[in-house]
Amino acid sequence: MTDFLQLIPSAEGAPALLIGGEAVPATEYEDVTDPATGAVVAAQPLAGNAEVDRAVRAAGAAATTWAGLPGRRRGAVLLRWAQLLRENSEALARLATAEMGKPLGESRGEVERAASEIEYAAGEAARMTGQTIPGDLPEALVVTERIPLGIIAAITPWNFPIVSPVRKIAPALAAGDTVVVKPAEEAPFSALAVVGLLEEAGCIPGAVNVVCGAGPMVGAALVEHPGVDGISFTGSTSVGRRIAETAARRLAPVQLELGGKNAAYVHSAVDLGRVADEIVAAAMQCTGQRCTAISRVVVENDLADELVAALAARVDALTVGPGTDPGTNVGPLVSMRQQHTVVDHVQRGLAGGAIRASAERPVPPDGPYVAPVVLDHVTPDMAVATEEIFGPVLSVLRVEGLDEAIAVVNGTEYGLAASVFSTDMDVALRFMRGVGSGMVHVNHGTASEPHVPFGGVAGSGMGAFSIGDTAKEFFTRLRVGYLRAPAPA
């Protein structure tokens, strides 16, 4: 057994679900494979409706005790959890790389990022503050309190198998909620491993439960469960829309982090090479499988040739290979299906008139690898300009002036992240205010920070932004109190 597999909770010699503080064996299992090699990582335990129901009940049974702890006590548990993530960083990173393929250095960074987000949430546990409001009645006090929303369903994708569950669990626990997590079927073990560390951190049994399995079955069962008070989902826009519809029927709040088609507008630069560095890093990290990856470059005509050459040179210098190889910059895609999708997008772009600026080169044949691509002369009507690809593909669109740039950037159903590179702050500010994106970066790529609100608008998200002090807007609800001393006798 490789060391990292020991982090996965097990029962009867196989990986197990986590329900009510117990490792619960499943009746059915499904192999999870390493995309880099096709080798089996481990057999994932599959939950049925009975396990989903049991997990929601376990979260319900833990709710009063967990919510009744002082915020600072809940925060202390979270701080110990962050420390345990760091202590187990190497094993967690290897586990994430084994199940979804990203380079090991990125996985190590993901563990550190998750620990930082937990530490921020730990502080927030003591800051669930309300307001005092001057009332109309004499000698009365009007207050608002933040109270836990209740039982949270956390449904997460495979591209950040450690950060995604943590980004939901940590603020939920800080707010006094309890949680049932449904990780992605492609990469469930990272979530099981990080939740497995929670008990050691001093969390009460049942405060966080994990059920694994297919989205349309286990995920849908969780969303439909009447005991679930709120749903925090990260994944595709189509599934997010369906979840919002289901939740709306029983008026359960949702927090949705969905897809993106993020653009970088290059208006002017002191050093175009530095701009290309920023764009390529933001585009190719996680093999382009980040919801905030830059996938479009919108560039002024007079800078386009030089920028495209700089982008292509950098992209061609990236090493494609297994995530465990220390020289790898770009790992495999998560699956053969994803590889077909990416290749198909590129071919359709080329057939539609785009021109490949990067080199065609061989990639390892034994996995879903794709050499990073820069497509030049893309036009706004092409699918490569509007649809989320989730792969290492940059589409370059040439424009003339800020107004056309803003129109092109806004020409998709998404509104997650955007960048603008300009030496003119007036242009940067007008871009920031003109684009329909939840997050805008001026003179750097689309990288977020662990204490700053994160989210999108339109097809990219709904509900309170996660991370930062906005997370509590989803994970708590308000209670208003009108307080007045009894009338004197």
Q: Which of 208, 212, 258, 204 is nearest to 235 (CA)?
A: 258
CB of 40 to ligand ADP, least distance (A): 20
CA distances from 195 to 33, 95, 178 (A): 21, 14, 12
Quote the CA–CA distance of 231 and 213 in Å, as a whole number: 17
Quote the CA–CA distance of 167 and 85 in Å, as a whole number: 14
Contacts with 469 (C-beta within 8 Å, 6 or more apart), sequence order: 124, 127, 453
Which residue, 325 or 413, has its beta carbon nearer to ligand ADP? 413
CB of 45 to ligand ADP, least distance (A): 15
Token code pair at residue 329: 């910059």
- The answer to whether residue 124 is catalytic is no
Residues that bind ligand ADP (CB under 6 A): 155-157, 182, 184-185, 215-216, 219-220, 223, 235-236, 239, 242-243
Q: Which of 203, 212, 286, 291 is catalytic?
A: 291
3-state DSSP percent of the chain in helix, strand and coil, to 5 = 40, 20, 35
* CB contact at 8 A, 415 and 457: yes
CB of 156 to ligand ADP, least distance (A): 6
CB of 24 to ligand ADP, least distance (A): 19
* CB contact at 8 A, 321 and 327: yes
Which residue, 195 or 405, has its beta carbon nearer to ligand ADP? 195
Which residue, 242 or 451, has its beta carbon nearer to ligand ADP? 242
Q: Which of 257, 278, 300, 388 is catalytic?
A: 257
Which residue, 155 or 179, has its beta carbon nearer to ligand ADP? 155
Residue 22: phi, psi to the nearest 5? -115, 150
Residue 231: phi, psi to the nearest 5? -125, 120
- The answer to whether residue 291 is catalytic is yes
Token code pair at residue 59: 């979260």
Sheet holding 393-399: strands in order across? 355-356, 373-376, 393-399, 294-300, 262-266, 417-421, 439-442
Contacts with 25 (C-beta within 8 Å, 6 or more apart), sequence order: 11, 12, 14, 16, 17, 45
CB of 217 to ligand ADP, least distance (A): 8
Q: Is 3 helix (H, G, I), strand (E, B) or coil?
A: helix
Burial class of 250 by CB neighbour count within 10 A (0 to 12, 13 to 18, 19+):
exposed
CB of 390 to ligand ADP, least distance (A): 7
Token code pair at residue 31: 């192999």
* CB contact at 8 A, 183 and 192: yes
In total, the chain counts a number of residues equal to 489
* CB contact at 8 A, 378 and 240: no
Q: Which of 190, 205, 174 is nearest to 78 (CA)?
A: 174
CB of 308 to ligand ADP, least distance (A): 29
Contacts with 73 (C-beta within 8 Å, 6 or more apart), sequence order: none
Unique residue bearing structure tokens 């061609």: 316
The residue with its CB nearest to ligand ADP is: 215
CB of 215 to ligand ADP, least distance (A): 2
Which residue, 52 or 397, has its beta carbon nearer to ligand ADP? 52
Which residue, 119 or 185, has its beta carbon nearer to ligand ADP? 185
Quote the CA–CA distance of 451 and 449 in Å, as a whole number: 6
Please report the DSSP string for 199-215 in residue order.
Answer: HHTTPPTTSEEE--S-I
CB of 179 to ligand ADP, least distance (A): 14
Which residue, 141 or 458, has its beta carbon nearer to ligand ADP? 458
Q: Hey, which residues are catalytic here?
A: 257, 291
